[in-house]
Each structure stands twice: as structure tokens, then as C-alpha cells.
Structure 1
Amino acid sequence: MVLRPPSGGVFRFDPGTLWLDLLVSGGPGELSVFETLHAPADLAAWAALSRLRLDPAQVRVSQGELAAGKRLRDGLWELARALIHHDPVRPELTSLVDEAAAPPSLAPRLRGAPGGFRREWTLPATGTQLLSSVARDVIDVLSGPHADRVRECGGHRCGLVFLDTSRPGSRRWCAMQRCGNRSKVRALRERRAPDAR
């Protein structure tokens, strides 16, 4: 995903999985300054930017589905933080995910030819199908081999969350060109500081 933070600049960020893609659309409390889901069309626009790459003109979202999407997203922020800090997960959060996952999700379809097959999604789709796909991704990730790899960026005051799918499980940054480089520059300045006296 291409992110444009309020502080300026543009950078690429790969959250690693669909449900963490949703978290970049804003959130509760202090995250409300990043809110992008103001109208139903905004959830369809997010679907185009996410790893689903849906045509937003083919995603029908109602006001109720938008509200449900924001409720799910805000609950997923709490879930992600609980996982990162090894805190207990409230049963209400798993119920929220289960309820969102219950309706039919987006239907995949096969396109291409041998040697060049690809997955696409059957359109048009509804906001409910979109949210079901997000919730099912939560279940797949948290019941799979990377369940313990939900991480928060190690950058100073960053807070972006990602799934570490690297082979060694050692990803530390939202993006190397952003927080990784900033951290290296900060460490270099700290090492040189005594020499400057």
C-alpha cells in the first residue's frame, strides 16, 4: 500500500495480510486523525488499495456496512495490540470476528491459462462480503503458522502494525525506506554525539 501520512512524505507499506491492510484506514482514539472511512464509497476505495485490488465501482457499500466495517476495524486494532503485547484477547473481540466472518465472503475465480493463472474476485460485491473476507483472513492468520508474528513497527512513534512473514521472523520496520532508515540515522547520530564534544 502507498501511504501518505499527515506529517508528509509518501512510502510503501506491506502489512502482510488483508486484515492488517484494514488498520491503515484509521482507528479509534488517537488513530482518528488517520481516519479515511467517512462515507460508504471510502470503504470501496480502500478495497481497491488493499491487497484485494477490487474495482471500487463494483463494490456496493451501505451506510450500515460502513459502520460495521469501522466497528470491525477498531476491534481489530484492539486484537492486534493484545497479540503484540501478549495480553489476553477479550471474548467480545473473537465474537466480533466470528459474526463478520459468518456471511458469504468474496468469491474467487480463476483467470488466465496454464503457466499464467491468477485469482480474481467475482464482482459486483457488497460491503458485507468484503468484511467477511477480512474477518476470515483474521481466522486464517491466527489459526495458522504466523499467529505469533503480528508486530508493531520499531520506529520512533510509528505504530504501524504488520504480519512478519519473513523466513527468520525478524522484520522490525513498517518500511525500511521510512522507519528503518530513520532508526539507522538516529543510531549513527547517537554514536557520533560524544565525538562532537
Structure 2
Amino acid sequence: MHTLHRIDRAIGVLAALLFVAAVAGFGLALPGYDAMRHPVALLGAIGVPHAQAFSVLGFVLPGVLASAVAVRLLLRVPRTAPWSMRVGVQLLMLAGVGFAAMGVLPLDANDIQSPASQYHASAWMVWVLAFVPGTLMYGLGALRLPGWRAQALLHLGCGAAMLLAAFVLQQWLPAPLAQRLAFACWAVWLVAALPLARRQG
């Protein structure tokens, strides 16, 4: 049991650290890369140096670990929990798959309208459109369980913040910055979801 608790603490943190370290490290190594002007996906784009390594470390592995976080959450959902919690956490599993798919389907930096770029954009949308309703449904269900308030507020907060960052703030902020805020919401969820569920479930 203690080993499982350690795993619960580690997998989300590892996913977030892998992503942040990959973005920071590969961003510094790419000449001319500017976080305020360039999207994260450029680091893994077709034709960019070390793109495949970034895609694996920055998208694929964190996405797989994010799905593992969702699986561990599903195992902790009480039998008496509302159906929305189970559906929500299944959507969170799908969000992890979508995140990993962004590494498998890299952007084409030379042609934003190419099929490759469109596939990458589709993977991004799968990630966002699974994460937002997944967190909101899970959070609303958790509100109805005694002792799960902090877990509910975490999910509702991350889902609402992701919705704002991905679809609203881009009207006022540079798109790469709004995108990074969406990634930050996801990283907060990764780090906190399982430890909170362990304490309250």
C-alpha cells in the first residue's frame, strides 16, 4: 500500500516535470526560439533539430503518465459516487491520450495548413475537449461526496482555468502565452490530483 501511495505521488509530478524540463531545455537549445512568439509544438515540429526527442519527452511520456494518473483516480472513485465522476475520469484518460498524440502527430512548421499540422491541431483539441469536461464532471460529482471538497475544487478550478486559457484569453494575450497557461492548468492537476484523492478518498 505504501508503494502505491509513493507511485500516486510520483507519476503526476514526473509527468509535469518531464514536460516543463523538455520545454525549457529544448527551447533554450533551439536558436531563435521565443516563448512569447512561438508555440510549444514548434519544438517538436517536422524539420526542427531534436524534434523527435522533444516529442517523446515533452508530449508522449507525459501524456502516458497523465493517463496513468486518471486510471489511479478511477480506481479511487467510491462505489457510491455520482456517475459524472466515472465519466469525467474516463475523459481525463482520453485527455492523456490526446496529449501523447501531439507528440506522435507533430506540427509542420513550414506549412500550418498541411495535413500533419491539422492532425496535430486535432490532437490538441482532443486533449482540451476531454480535459475540460472531464475535470468539470469529476469535480461536480466530487462535491456531492463527504470529504471530497478539496478534490472537487481542484478539478473545477483546473477545468475552468483551462477553458479560459484555451478559448478566451487568446483574444487578449499572445496565443503562445495563453497556450502555456493552459499547460500550467494541466500541470497543476497532474501534481495535485492523486495526493488529494489519497487523503480524502
Question: Over alpha carbons, which structure has the higher Rg?
Answer: 1
TM-score (norm 2): 0.32
Q: Which has the higher contact order (CA 8 A, sep 6+)?
A: 2
Greater strand share, 1 or 2?
1
TM-score, normalised to structure 1, is: 0.32
